Amino acid sequence: MRIKKHRLLWGGLFYKKLRLFLSLLGIIIGVAALIVMNSFGESAQVKTLKEISTFGPDVLLVVAGSVQVHGGRPIQTELATTLKPSDAKALRAIDGIKYISPVFNGLGIVRNGKNTYVTTITGVNPEYLKIRRFPLEEGRNFLKSEIQSYEKVAILGYKVKKELFGDEDPIGKHIYVNKLPFKVIGVLGPIGIDASGEDQDDQVLVPYTVAMAALYNVDYIKSIYIRVSDVSLIPLIVKRIDQILLKRHHVTERDKDFTIVKAEDILEAKTRTTKIFASLVGSISVLCLLVGALGVTAIMTLAVNERKKEIGIRKALGAREKDLVYQFLMESVFITVVGGIIGIILGLGISIILLPILHYPIVMPWLPIGISVGLTIIFGLIAGIYPAYKAAKIDPIILLRQGF
């Protein structure tokens, strides 16, 4: 008797295999979408925090010209050539500033033998690595004397080292930067993309004096990086920077030629953007899951209409309404649960493959996985209620009069 009930319960479900496949497909796509989109949402938040770590809460950036923060990225909207190394020297006297570095950067061509590579050349002083918390994987930092004597020495970003030297040790060897020979004294460890959106592994650091005089022939710098000794001093330090530079540049607040960017400005914009993205993807993925559940409801309702003969015979032979409700309810739950499990596996697989390809950290969204499991069961029950109720209310006498 139990075997017959088992066959009655699952026989109708597997009889129309295409219908079963389409029902499962709707749930699979919905759950997989939820997992993938939430993986990207959470991964984007982790990536944002990592990017901010090289532009910590104790770091300030003075940029020549006008800058606006869009999507957590400082974008220069107006250029200026009035920021000088002497401005950095004047700002050093402010109480609470721990490290300060003038910065000039531009594109350049670097070469080692037959290997040629286009990258960013960043002119800095020895304090820059301490400000940005950049790790040295090999070699050493710049010396103060090398900055003052215009020594042609270079520290390679991790990616540049791989492009020019592969697995070969570059320390002590020479490269050409814009046709000028530079001695390699260090290699940075892997850093990745920072809050400005720039790949910090794709650059060559040189003394800012050499960058200005020998590589780009300018008398100005593009920015000044500052690290403070205490985050609580930032408002006071920003005010002092503003006062000093306004006086030195002979400008007013209305026409000033520099912008001070704080880490909290970047962090706030980045966090706001990632939260909006996370909310959006969460809403879309739940909508996908809901559409899948509605699809199951529609297909199960269709199944009831197609199986009226079977239902009528069962009721005529004594099947109770609760037996029919149980049968169709279990069929819809089976479809949603199996589809949910396959969707979870598929979603995790897609996330694990795509995240590294798109340079995002792999993050397993366990909360969304739990939510998706819960929602698939709930939607499965909801999707089965109406078809089950409709099946239970079919009058076998009407079917018998119609002669099936």
> Considering only 108-117, 226-235, 343-352, which range has the smallest mean pLDDT?
343-352
Q: Give the model confidence (pLDDT) of 94-113 as tens digits.
A: 999 999 999 999 999 999 98
Taking Cα atoms as reference points, which of 281, 278, 296 lies closest to residue 378? Answer: 296
Q: What is the DSSP string of 88-116?
A: HHHHTTSTTEEEEEEEEEEEEEEEETTEE
| pLDDT for the residue 360 | 75
Q: Residues 6 or more apart from 140 whose CB is under 8 A from it?
A: 185, 186
CB atoms within 10 A of CB 55: 23
pLDDT, tens only, 368-380 = 667 766 776 677 6
pLDDT band at 159 (very low <50, low <70, confident <90, very high): very high
| pLDDT for 28 beyond 60 | yes
Give the model's confidence band at 125: pLDDT under 50 very low, under 70 low, under 90 confident, else very high. Answer: very high
pLDDT of residue 3: 43
CA-angle at 232, arms to 230 and 235, nearest 5°:
115
3-state secondary structure of 130: helix
Q: Round to whole Å and give the CA distance between 60 and 77.
A: 18
- Tell me the C-alpha distance between 125 and 76, whole Å: 23
Question: What does the domain layout of the chain look like in residue ranges?
Answer: 2-50+269-402, 81-256
Angle between helices 17-53 and 2-15 (to 10 degrees): 70
pLDDT score for 2: 44
Please state, in angstroms and as integers, the Cα–Cα distance from residue 295 to each residue in 20, 114, 237, 342, following that order: 11, 60, 61, 17
pLDDT of residue 293: 67
Residue 318 identity: G
Instruction: Select the more confidently predicted residue: 62 or 14.
Output: 62
**Local confidence band at 136 (pLDDT 50, 70, 90 cut-offs):** very high
Share of the chain above pLDDT 90, in %: 37
Q: What is the pLDDT of residue 281?
A: 65
Answer whether residue 220 shows pLDDT above 60. Answer: yes
Outline where DSSP puts E strands in 81-193.
97-112, 115-124, 136-139, 153-156, 174-177, 180-188
Q: Is the pLDDT assigned to residue 224 strictly greater than 90?
A: yes
Residue listed under structure tokens 């990745």: 192
- Give 187-210 pLDDT, tens digit per residue: 999 987 776 667 889 999 999 999
pLDDT value at residue 96:
94
Average pLDDT over residues 371-395: 69
Position with higher pLDDT, 23 vs 233: 233
In this prediction, residues 87-96 reach a mean pLDDT of: 94
pLDDT of residue 126: 96
Is a pLDDT exceeding 70 seen at residue 321?
Answer: yes
Q: For position 245, what pLDDT does the model report? A: 95
pLDDT given at position 341: 85
Lowest mean pLDDT among 30-34, 49-53, 67-71: 67-71
Indicate the pairing of strand 136-139 with strand 180-188. antiparallel
Query: Does pLDDT of 309 surpass 80?
Result: no
| Six token digits for residue 371 | 């939510």
Predicted confidence at residue 266, as pLDDT, reads 63
* CA dist., res. 61 & res. 31, Å (int): 44
pLDDT digits (tens, 9 = 90+) for 257-308: 898 888 766 666 566 666 666 677 667 666 766 776 676 677 767 766 666 6
Q: Which residue has the higher pLDDT, 4 or 228?
A: 228
pLDDT at 108 (0 to 100): 95
Cα-based distances in Å from 40 to 134, 235, 397 = 27, 35, 56
Residue-level pLDDT at 161:
96
What is the C-alpha to C-alpha distance for residues 114 and 117, in angstroms, rounded to an integer? 10
Give the predicted TM-score (pTM) of the model: 0.63
Q: Calculate the average pLDDT of the chain.
A: 80
Q: Are 214 and 150 in contact (CB under 8 A)?
A: yes
Q: How confident is the model at residue 403 (pLDDT cuts 50, 70, 90)?
A: very low
**229 pLDDT tier (thresholds 50, 70, 90):** very high
Q: Give the mean model confidence (pLDDT) for residues 393-397.
A: 68
Torsion of CA 141, 146, 148, 150, to 10 degrees: -120
Angle at 261 between CA 256 and CA 267, to 5 degrees: 155
